[in-house]
Structure 1
Amino acid sequence: MRTHQQLLVGLLEREKSALVDSWVLAASGPQAPEKARTEAAEILTALLPAVASGDLQNSGSAAWQPAKAALERLSASRAAQGSTAGSTSAFVLALKQPIFEALQRELATDSHALVEAIAQVTRYVDALAQWTMDAYQRTREQLISRQQEELLELSTPVIKLWEGVLAVPMIGTLDSSRTQLVMESLLQRIVETESALAIIDITGVPTVDTLVAQHLLKTVTAIRLMGADCIICGIRPQIAQTIVHLGIDLQSVTTKATLADALALALKRNGYTFTKTK
């Protein structure tokens, strides 16, 4: 007499193609993309070793690794496409319907065995859906973290304004991680270009508090330790008043109102003079 496990393995192997078609139809409708069929077939193939092992309690066993890997690829693909965690999990849960229907045809005369087989399939597919949610969450967090890093890099470009003069136009709120990124990028560019002067433009920084001022001072100190000098520009009247009220000492730092003024000073320090032609 076949066990439920043997019955299910035989069913998945024998009717794999039909199960994939029914699964995709139940999950995505008749206009399902070919990619969904490929994903469904991959997951169903990877599920076979896990079902054959009968080891539902030990999800960390080697038999479950192919299924987990397939679910991670599914989650990564769906997350990159903008699908939600709910819709991704729903796709996996839709596998129940075609398997239930196949079991009903197989065990039509044995209601007790049918109930037990359906319960077993439910446990398997629910476990798959849970792992899908976990994998999607991890993938989404990694994607968001990577996008944040890319945005930070884009929001703090190091620009070569003139021979020996670099500039960093800063936009948005400054925090420890962003200031660290600015410092690393700027110091690296100073080494690469052998620049003697760096301009930090904070025109786009909405507010300056004690923490932001400390970050700026640390950046200036690091630049000086590299043998270069620094000018901070873009200090608006409101920010200047805030700095005074907070008692922040920027007397050791050269400051200018605008980027144009800072560039003029930088060129003057480098020995350049300009005259206006008529």
Structure 2
Amino acid sequence: MNTSESSVRDRLCEALRDREAEIADRWVRLQLEQAVLSTDMSEQEVREEADLLISALAAGLAGDVPVERLVTSRNDLRRAVIELSLRRARAGASPTATSLAVLSLKEALLTAVQHTTRDSAELFSAAILINRLLDAAGVLSFETYVEGREELIQRQSRQLLEVSTPVVRLWRHVLAVPLIGTLDTARTQVVMESLLQAIEDNEAQVAIIDITGVPAVDTAVAQHLMHTVNAVRLMGADCVISGIRPPIAQTIAQLGIDLSTILTRATLADALAAAVRLTDQPAVDTGARAPADRPVTA
């Protein structure tokens, strides 16, 4: 760090230390004026964010870490920016608004520096240093926001997959998974995890995988089914695949897919009757309505 930059950092530290409340107030006002705040955040919450970030900036500038790496190297400063970004994301703010909120701190800082010096060259150097510092903070806030939203989307997608592939208890020791739509790798993993957990929880002996709602079966779908069947067998349960319609049966035969080791049935009713026999329970009339308390979502 050269002498000129060191003196500018000292001047900025002085401004942050002596005018912390003033800087925070001005930053909050700037955000309100620029309409970059989410309506779900109160002014008090924004003020708390400002106090935390400005305090972390002052502590970071007092050290000797280069300005470009200050935001990413100082844990307290990095955490302050990340928490601000995640809080704004949860409140519904856009990534652009979040970055602009961070960048608006430039004006508040530069105004504070102007009150401590009238030297134009020093003010220019301070402006450059503030830009370098807060540009890095703006980039970090944008990246954090995007990563947070992606994580949220992935979590919601998984929740939707779990809802769309429920494990249902049809009979004592008999579970069923009605599949609807395309069966891909991600969905297979969710089905497998949910089914295996349900087998353990219900001490199930037979699991029925109903593919009536699967529009087509190709080699990939067949492999996914085989993986699920193998996992069920490792849990000590039998597996029955139902919903093998004529077009699907023809496709499977044409593709040369070997399902000979798996018990298959045309309908879910036939699969349930077969499952009851496998569990050595009294025969059930598949045309009759099951008792009201029998179907239970796992």
Same structural fold, with TM-score higher than 0.5 when normalized by the shorter chain: yes
Q: How far 1:267 sits from its partner (Å)?
A: 3.1
2:30 maps to what in 1? 26
Q: 1:272 aligns with which of 279, 283, 287?
A: 283
Query: Cα distance 1:257–1:101, how it changes in 2: closer, same or farther (>3 A)?
Result: same
Give the letter aligned to residue 261 of structure 1: D
- Structure 1 residues 63, 182: CA separation in 2 closer, same or farther (over 3 Å shift)? closer
Q: Which residue of the partner structure matches residue 103 of structure 1?
A: 113
Tell me the secondary structure at the aligned position of residue 269 of structure 2: helix
Q: 2:16 aligns with which of 12, 16, 25?
A: 12
Equivalent residue number for residue 98 of structure 2:
88
1:227–1:111 distance in 2 versus 1, CA, 3 Å: closer
1:276 to 1:216, Cα distance in 2 relative to 1, 3 A: closer
Check 1:30–1:85 CA distance in 2 against 1; reply closer, same or farther (3 A cut).
closer
Structure 1 residue 96 displacement after superposition = 0.8
Q: CA deviation at 1:214?
A: 1.4
> What is the aligned partner in structure 2 of residue 183 from structure 1?
192
Q: 1:132 to 1:115 in 2, by over 3 A?
A: same
CA contact (8 A) 2:165 2:178 kept: yes
Q: Which amino acid aligns with 1:191?
A: E
2:23 aligned counterpart, secondary structure: helix
Partner of 2:296: none
1:38-76 deviations in Å (ceiling 9; x for gaps): 212211111111111142257379972111011111122
Task: Give, in whole Å, the separation in 2 of the partners of 1:88 and 1:62.
Answer: 18
1:49 and 1:63 in contact (8 A); partners too: no
CA distance in 2, matches of 1:166, 1:69: 46
Deviation digits for residues 221-248 of structure 1 (CA, Å, limit 9, x no counterpart): 3323433222212334443333233222
Written as runs of structure 1 = structure 2, the 5 A alignment for 1:25-44 is 25-29=29-33, 33-34=42-43, 35-44=45-54
Letter in 1 for 2:112: A
Q: How many residue pairs were aligned?
A: 276
Please tell me whether the aligned partners of residues 157 and 168 of structure 1 are also in contact (alpha carbons under 8 angstroms). yes
Query: 1:77 offset after TM fit, Å?
Result: 1.5
Partner Cα separation in structure 1 for residue 262 and residue 72 of structure 2: 61
Aligned to 2:182: 173
Task: Give the 3-state SS of the residue equivalent to 2:211 in structure 1.
Answer: strand
The within-5 A match list for 1:115-194 is 115-194=124-203
Aligned residue in 1 for 2:63: 53
Q: Alpha-carbon deviation of 1:126?
A: 1.1
Amino acid at match of 1:3: S
Corresponding residue number in structure 1 for 2:232: 223
The worse-fitting range, judged by mean Cα deviation, of 67-76 and 17-26 is 17-26
Unaligned runs of 5+ residues in structure 2 are: 290-298
Change (3 A) 1:212 1:118: same
Instruction: Find the residue that maps to 1:59 and give its secondary structure.
Output: helix
Distance in 2 of aligned mates of 1:134 and 1:89 = 10
- The 1-side partners of 2:91 and 2:30 are apart by 20
Coordinate RMSD, CA, aligned = 2.8
Q: Residues of 2 paired with 1:118 and 1:179: CA distance?
A: 55
% of aligned pairs identical? 45
1:198 Cα deviation (Å)?
0.8
Question: What letter matches 1:18 in structure 2?
Answer: E
More displaced stretch, 197-206 vs 144-153: 144-153
Counterpart amino acid of 2:201?
Answer: E
Is the Cα contact below 8 Å between 1:195 and 1:228 reproduced in 2?
A: yes
Q: State the partner residue of 2:293.
A: none
Write the distance in 2 (CA, Å) between the matches of 1:121 and 1:12.
Answer: 12
Q: Does 1:69 align with 2:73?
A: no
Change (3 A) 1:204 1:175: same
RCO higher in structure (CA 8 A, sep ≥6): 2
Deviations 1:141-180 (CA, angstroms, capped at 9, x unpaired): 3333333333333333222111110011223322234323
> Aligned partners of 1:215, 1:67: CA distance in 2, in Å?
46
| One of 223, 228, 243 as aligned partner of 1:214 | 223
Normalised by the length of structure 2, the TM-score is 0.81
**Partner SS state of residue 28, structure 1:** helix
1:3 corresponds to: 7
